[in-house]
A = this chain, B = another copy of it.
Amino acid sequence: MGGDHGPHVTVPSAVEYALDDPEIDVILVGIPAAIEAELHALNKPLGTRIRMHAASEVVGMDEPPALALRNKKDSSMRVAINLVKSGEAQACISAGNTGALLATSRFVLKTIPGIDRPALAVVLPTITGHTYILDLGANVNCTAEHLLQFGMMGATLVASVENKKSPSIGLLNIGEEDIKGNEVVKQAAELLRESGLNFYGNIEGDDIYKGTTDVVVCDGFVGNVALKTSEGVAQMLATFLRQEFKRNFLTRFAGLVALPVINAFKRRVDHRQYNGASLLGLRGIVIKSHGSADKQAFSAAIKRAAEEVRGGMLRHISEHIAELQHHVKKNKLNSVTAE
């Protein structure tokens, strides 16, 4: 039900996705009348592949997460996450209130053993392809161990959905040298180096978009600022480019000639194709779509969920966290033996 546009975007997007991908069945969760109205408009009856699950409440976009968690036990968000917990659904996709989705997912699904906190991960375009960055705001105060867990989860996500054997991990810092950064980052670098993961080392902000590593690890404060700053730069550059093409008759003509190129460029950097942040570390797959997502963007978020289910991501994270803990224990034993 959520998102800025409500079921008017999510229902047609989900229905179309299900029609395109025969492996995926859709359960539409929310106020029945609202969902039925959308289905009626689409002329799509409910069936086995497109089902509905009623919920009587909706979490507001600005509602405090703690209140939503406490008071709205029958919200579409809560009911959808319950379906993941019961195994009736293999993933939940929501365009609703991020804080409420995080709090509710964590409360209902719990974290995977060995993971302290869930993290938000997204895909970003790079000069050479794309990269995964986490955390993006779920955790504003992180320890070195949290950053290590983010690295492991990010690497597992990439391995699962991209079928990449040993994804490289970069630690976002303010310089490449080991001595750079604050204490948490320095300790995290040590933990990552000893983790058995494919740790590239420290990277800087520009490395995100150079595609230096498959995974970029940072705390949620830094990640959120980096992401929003990126959006700001892109918007500013787009505005400037538009202004320059609209300056006078000649530049407008040039803009007309260059239009197919500009459009190809726009398609390439269209952020809708990157919509869908994964909540990693939970005992279930939950994808957060941007609140303002349109049909195409919401469809990208559903695709992300489908890829994580097909890639067996949950199982892989559980396995890898066990391996990691084993590795860390062995390392500790070794260092004891060496003393």
Contacts and interface: CB of A to CB of B under 8 A. Distances in A.
B232 A244 contact: no
Number of copies of this chain that the complex holds: 2
Contact of A221 (B141, B174, B262): B174
B251 A232 contact: no
Given A174-B224, A261-B244, A182 B140 contact: yes
A123 to B, nearest CB: 14
Given A205-B226, A241-B265, A264-B247, A234 B232 contact: no
Interface residues of A, number: 57
A236 interface: yes
Name A's interface SS. helix
A322 interface: no
A107 interface: no
A112 to B, nearest CB: 25
23 contacts: A125-B236, A127-B240, A172-B225, A174-B220, A204-B224, A205-B225, A205-B227, A205-B230, A206-B228, A209-B235, A221-B222, A222-B222, A225-B225, A230-B230, A230-B232, A230-B233, A237-B269, A241-B265, A245-B258, A247-B264, A250-B260, A251-B260, A257-B257
